């Protein structure tokens, strides 16, 4: 959920930075958006690892029957 907030916050800061000509605010927005994307990628990896572990446990159970 945090990744969605950071991406949205970043896009808003970028838009305000563009409108006001504030390059620093625009850069902060780009950083926030990137942080959100990174958080999302980390969550995706965590889910993939959990799924792989679950599949491996299931496969081991099947083999040892």
The predicted-structure confidence for 25-58, as pLDDT tens digits, reads as follows 999 999 999 999 999 999 999 999 999 999 999 9
Q: How many C-beta atoms lie closer than 10 Å to residue 26's C-beta?
A: 19
Tokens of 40: 């999302």
Q: Considering the entire predicted model, what is its pTM?
A: 0.76
What torsion do the CA atoms of 16, 22, 27, 32 make, to the nearest 10 degrees? Answer: -30
Mean pLDDT along residues 17-31: 97
29 contacts: CB under 8 Å, gap ≥ 6: 9, 10, 11, 12, 13, 14, 15, 16, 17
């Amino acid at each position: 959920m945090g990744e969605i907030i950071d991406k949205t916050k970043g896009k808003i800061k970028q838009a305000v930075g563009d409108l006001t000509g504030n390059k620093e605010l625009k850069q902060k927005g780009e950083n926030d958006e990137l942080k959100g994307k990174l958080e999302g990628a980390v969550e995706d990896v965590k889910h993939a690892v959990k799924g792989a572990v679950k599949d491996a446990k299931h496969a081991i159970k099947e083999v040892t029957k």
